[in-house]
Amino acid sequence: MLSLKPTLRSAPLLIGACLTLAGCGPKPDTHPGQPVTRRRAVLQETLRTFEPMGIMVRGKSPYDAARFQSLADKLEALSTQPWTFFPPGSTYSPSRAKPVVWQNPAKFKQAQETYIKAAAHLDAVAKTGKLDLIRPAYLQVSDSCAACHKAFRGPSVL
C-alpha cells in the first residue's frame, strides 16, 4: 500500500518544487513609471468597486442605497484614472492590451468616454435611490466595459 506520509527524503524535493513555483509568478514591472502595474491596480480596484454593486442590482444581496451610492461615487472617480497608464510601448507582459489600443487611439478614446459617461450617469441615478432606475444605468456601465474588453483586451498572458 502507498503511504501518503511525507518522509525526510521527500522534503528537499518538496522544497525545490515550492521554490520553482515561487519563481513562476509575474515578473516585476521594471519599466519607467510602471504603467502596466499601475493601470492594472486601478482596473482591479474598479472591479472590486463594481462587483458589489452588481450583486445588489441582481438581488443577490439586499439593496443598501447608502452603500450603493458610496460605491457609485468611487466608481465615477476611478473611471478617469487608468487611461494615462496606456502610453505607447506598454504592451509588455503582463499587459492584456491589444495593439489596437495604440493603432486606433481615437476608437480607444471613444470607448473611454463611453465608459466615463456611463459611470457618471450611474452615479447620478444612484442618488435617486430608486433601484428600478439604477438597474439600466448599471447595465450601461457593464456593457461599456464588455465592449471595451472585446475590442481592446486580449487573453491572459500569465
Distances (CA, A) of 61 to 21, 96, 134: 38, 32, 15
Q: How many helices (H) and strands (E) does the chain have?
A: 6, 0
pTM, rounded to two decimals: 0.80
Paired residues of 153 in beta bridges: 97
Q: Is the pLDDT of residue 112 over 60?
A: yes
Which residue from 15, 37, 155, 25 is spatially nearest to 90, judged by alpha carbons? 37
Q: Is the pLDDT of residue 14 over 50?
A: no
Fold classification of 35-84+101-158 is: Four Helix Bundle (Hemerythrin (Met), subunit A) (1.20.120)
Distance CA 99, CA 41 (A): 20
Residue 21: pLDDT band (50, 70, 90) is: very low
Q: What is the mean pLDDT of residues 58-72?
A: 97
Distance CA 116, CA 141 (A): 9
Would you list the domain boundaries of the chain? 35-84+101-158
